[in-house]
Structure 1
């Protein structure tokens, strides 16, 4: 006990003792804790230290970070003079890794504005990626781009927003959805009431083919976030239309289509031209390359003849139908797979009792054949006849105008093509509701005339014929 008391008294000793001892204890405590804090009044009078200066970059430095060359393959891009490092983020980009990587080493201001309706929200997520800004002596975009054209287009974009042309008329889209559902019901009623003989069978197939084509245009609207102000509602209805009404995955469409919009008709960046030269040689550049390399996988000088066999009839029933299942399984897109299965379950439950197994398989194949022809002719008439080349990193306006063309407006053309007869306006403003394309078209034409850029617009049948002509191709194989 005495030993414990002695130890306790020794532990208490530094804090105890007389007045002198207490004073020494306090002094030692202050010495160990450091100097006393400054009075608040003095702190308020002192100015805070300067913030660290942001890093400054030149366009030459940024161009070197384009994910090319040996590892590590860095990816930088510029938006509103701010430099962002997307080397790791690109894999988590909601729009897909490739679409954002296509602008690595380049100014991405205009595509960023074009693709993102809620730019303020997106900028918050971009903050951790910010690594600096352009040096004061550097232009806001690459020196090779047309400064006046870029500025004029950005002024046009501001005018479009002030005119309210990016605001949707939801009644328009709901009526369009209703007409699709009514055609779908009419197709079933035709066979249910008139039987499965040849004429009702063919009428039902045409109606269902129309449903598939028109649903394709409608899912395109939701996929581009053109209908609702909140992205989540666009995504949800997009899955319903493309998944339940068409039997295709939304993720597959997003993966391919946004790349096409980012770099249309650019080899290795636009998936719509990447399937070549497996079947076709599109554009003068690729044709010359294949001619020099003697890579004649197909008789390209006759491609205008076999296009009718390989292209429109076979794309959807023979290629898309198996590839979309491979895509969702390989990428584990199970939600999209579930939506797709609802289409096939509904289709078989409604038509199997009326047609039997052979009849329903024949109907499905015929519907896909009709849809495929409709889809290919409409989507390719706006791009294949236009300029096709590697990415030259030109400004947004020129990128879209050299790769797209329009078809004359009429009620039929608007309905038949889902308003993609206004392909130029759609590519310049991809989130614009399609019912406003005709309103912005005169402004786009005026800007083209001001800068000497040709605004291509042609009749529907001429647009179809230009696909088959496939200009600037056959001559190259004589090299």
Structure 2
């Protein structure tokens, strides 16, 4: 059904016709208005929890129970990352400068990821989701997300891709380390906006984090703490972001699909409740988020009712499923693509 709609939508409708209609409804419902009280409360709760956990870490001292603290910090680091994501999309403040400052503090200082590098990459994804040659999120070595990426592979890379459905979750344990490495490479390897601030905050985070860990824990405990913390951080991040587009249609390079169809037909929502909204940082409303990236997170649930009905009225398929089924679709897609990788002669 979606593939038929993709073919039908290759000839764009009148400029801005459907999206303009929907935008008017969204604005009239007040869904683009800032939610300062909500974000103030959320930032306060996450900040208090983070400070309390680090305080408990110091008080517990050199103990193997600190591996549980590492798991708690992995959850909190991801929640901090969600706030940085919202700041990057200008969801929190009206001022771009205020959003950037909040993003730098949450991303660079608190969790050690480059705000500027990630936002530049993430904005390219938003502009062309699941589009070959344009979306950086479907060019992620050593994985392959299309048969065209898998077929030319040989040797160990091909062997990995053939089993990538099984190896995806283990690979996510390295996701946080990859993000840290890419952040450092971006800040120190090329020209970028606010480079001194980005680099200084990344360095301060690394110094504070490693000093705290190895002053409190023994060397072996410290190494294991960092390994568990960063591994779980990566798994949580990947588990929140991957279900949104992986396994959905991939558009060819140069696709003429209009903005409305491009965003809806390549995105997947995850059905759930308030706990799901918190756990996934609002990314479970991926369709709404892609149509209106600056919409504050707490408004996405209300917007879903309007946008889902709009899609139904205009015959556009609206993909929504459970978290479990979304992961089944992701892994099935990876397995299908993996079967295209070359086998040894």
| Alignment TM-score, normalising by the size of structure 1 | 0.64
- Per the alignment, residue 75 of structure 2 pairs with 210
Question: 1:258 and 2:123 equivalent?
Answer: yes
- Distance of 1:152 and 1:196 partners within structure 2: 60
Query: Secondary structure of 1:198's match?
Result: coil
Larger radius of gyration: 1
After superposition, the Cα gap between the structure-2 partners of 1:405 and 1:194, relative to the gap in structure 1 and judged at 3 Å, is same
Q: How do 1:69-468 residues align onto structure 2 when only pairs under 5 Å count?
A: 144-147=11-14, 150-199=16-65, 201-275=66-140, 278-282=141-145, 286-288=146-148, 290-291=150-151, 293=152, 297-299=157-159, 300-310=161-171, 312-317=172-177, 319-332=178-191, 333-391=195-253, 392-468=255-331
C-alpha contact (below 8 Å) 1:223/1:238 kept by paired residues: yes
Query: Secondary structure of 2:46's match?
Result: helix
- Per the alignment, residue 6 of structure 2 pairs with none
- Distance of 1:288 and 1:243 partners within structure 2: 36
In the TM superposition, residue 358 of structure 1 has moved relative to its aligned partner by 4.3
RMSD: 2.3
In the TM superposition, residue 143 of structure 1 has moved relative to its aligned partner by 9.2
- Distance of 2:242 and 2:170 partners within structure 1: 15
Query: Secondary structure of 2:94's match?
Result: coil
After superposition, the Cα gap between the structure-2 partners of 1:193 and 1:478, relative to the gap in structure 1 and judged at 3 Å, is closer
Q: Which runs of 5+ in 2 are unaligned?
A: 1-8
C-alpha contact (below 8 Å) 2:269/2:284 kept by paired residues: yes
Query: Secondary structure of 2:86's match?
Result: helix
Query: Secondary structure of 2:285's match?
Result: helix
Query: Secondary structure of 1:470's match?
Result: helix
- Distance of 1:422 and 1:180 partners within structure 2: 21
- Distance of 2:289 and 2:280 partners within structure 1: 12
Question: What is the aligned residue count?
Answer: 328
Query: Secondary structure of 1:381's match?
Result: helix
After superposition, the Cα gap between the structure-2 partners of 1:315 and 1:412, relative to the gap in structure 1 and judged at 3 Å, is same
Q: How do 1:22-37 residues align onto structure 2 when only pairs under 5 Å count?
A: none
CA displacement, residues 172-199 of structure 1 (integer Å, 9 cap, x when unaligned)? 1122222222222232233333332222
- Distance of 1:361 and 1:309 partners within structure 2: 19
In the TM superposition, residue 453 of structure 1 has moved relative to its aligned partner by 1.6
After superposition, the Cα gap between the structure-2 partners of 1:290 and 1:298, relative to the gap in structure 1 and judged at 3 Å, is closer
- Distance of 1:466 and 1:143 partners within structure 2: 25
- Distance of 2:147 and 2:312 partners within structure 1: 31
In the TM superposition, residue 388 of structure 1 has moved relative to its aligned partner by 1.3
| Higher RCO structure (Cα 8 Å, ≥6 apart) | 2
C-alpha contact (below 8 Å) 2:109/2:205 kept by paired residues: yes
C-alpha contact (below 8 Å) 1:226/1:433 kept by paired residues: yes
Would you identify which runs of 4 or more consecutive aligned residues in structure 1 move more than 6 Å? none
| Alignment TM-score, normalising by the size of structure 2 | 0.88
